Chains A and B, each alone.
Chain A
Amino acid sequence: AQKVTQAQTEISVVEKEDVTLDCVYETRDTTYYLFWYKQPPSGELVFLIRRNSFDEQNEISGRYSWNFQKSTSSFNFTITASQVVDSAVYFCALSEAGASGSRLTFGEGTQLTVNP
C-alpha cells in the first residue's frame, strides 16, 4: 500500500524567511507520480507540481522549488522569501502509474503561516 507522510503539522515563519516542507512517501511501484497541492482558506486545492519517478531533476518555479530524492523517498518543497499570501495548508500526494486510473494518496498536510 502506498503512504505519504508530512511530519510537520504546522510551521510558522516571518515574511521573507525561506521555508521547507517535508514529504516522505512509501510505494512498491517503480513508476509513480508525486504532487504538491496548496489549499488556501477558501478550501480549493490548487495544483502546484507533478513529478514522475524517473525524473529526479530538481525544479524551480519562481519562489518555489522542489527537491526529489528517490534514495530517501522524499519530495520536499521550499518556498524562498515567503510572503503572507503563501499562508495555506500544503499537501503532498502520490499516485501510482498504471491503467487503474487516478487515485491520489495524500499526506496529512502542513499548515504554513507566514506572519508579516
Chain B
Amino acid sequence: KAGVTQTPRYLIKTRGQQVTLSCSPISGHRSVSWYQQTPGQGLQFLFEYFSETQRNKGNFPGRFSGRQFSNSRSEMNVSTLELGDSALYLCASSSAGGSYEQYFGPGTRLTVT
C-alpha cells in the first residue's frame, strides 16, 4: 500500500497570504489528522476529519481550517499568514481514528516571510 502523501513538500509564502495544503491518506483509511510542528511548541494537534466531518479540533485560531472530501483526501487552509505559522505541517491517516495508530506523511514545510 502506498503511504500518506502530502503536497507540496515545501512552500514559501508572504505574510498576509493564504495557503492550502493537501493530504492523501493511505487507501482505505477514513480518518485524517493534521499536526503542526515548530521548534518552540513541538507537535500540536490541529484537527481531525472522519468521513468528511470534523471530529476533533485543537487550540488554534480560526485562520486554520480544513476539510475532507468523499475520497478521504483532506486539505488544510491557513488564511492571513503570520510569521509564526512557519512550521512543518504533518498529516496522519488512520483506519478509523479514535485510538488506532496513525501513520504520518512526510510533511509540508511552510515558510512565511
In the bound complex, residues from chain A placing their C-beta under 8 Å from that of B97 are 101-102
B107:A103 contact, CB within 8 angstroms = no
Whether B75 sits at the interface, judged by CB under 8 Å, is no
Given contacts A45-B104, A102-B56, contact A52 B99 (CB under 8 A): yes
Whether A69 sits at the interface, judged by CB under 8 Å, is no
Whether B23 sits at the interface, judged by CB under 8 Å, is no
State which residues 44-86 of B face A: CB under 8 Å.
44-45, 48, 50, 55-56, 58
In the bound complex, residues from chain B placing their C-beta under 8 Å from that of A47 are 101-104
State which residues 66-113 of A face B: CB under 8 Å.
91, 93, 95-109
Interface SS of B by simple majority:
strand
Residue of chain A at shortest CB distance from B99: A33
8 Å CB contact of B98 from A37, A45, A93, A97: A97
In the bound complex, residues from chain A placing their C-beta under 8 Å from that of B56 are 100-103
The total of Cβ contacts below 8 Å across the A-B interface reads: 74
8 Å CB contact of A103 from B48, B101, B109: B48
Q: How far is the CA of A106 from the CA of B42 in the complex (A)?
A: 8
Q: How far is the CA of A97 from the CA of B99 in the complex (A)?
A: 6
Query: Chain B nearest CB: distance from A7 CB in Å?
Result: 14
8 Å CB contact of B31 from A45, A91, A102: A102
B45:A105 contact, CB within 8 angstroms = yes
A102:B42 contact, CB within 8 angstroms = no
In the bound complex, residues from chain B placing their C-beta under 8 Å from that of A37 are 104
B104:A102 contact, CB within 8 angstroms = no
A43:B42 contact, CB within 8 angstroms = no
Interface hub of A32, A104, A105 (most chain B Cβ within 10 A) = A104
In the bound complex, residues from chain A placing their C-beta under 8 Å from that of B94 are 102
Residue of chain A at shortest CB distance from B32: A102
Whether A57 sits at the interface, judged by CB under 8 Å, is no
Chain A residues close to B by CB (< 8 Å) = 32-33, 35, 37, 42-47, 50, 52, 91, 93, 95-109
* 3 residue pairs, one from A and one from B, having the closest CB atoms: A101-B55, A45-B104, A101-B56
Chain B residues close to A by CB (< 8 Å) = 31, 33, 35, 42-45, 48, 50, 55-56, 58, 88, 90, 92, 94, 97-107, 109
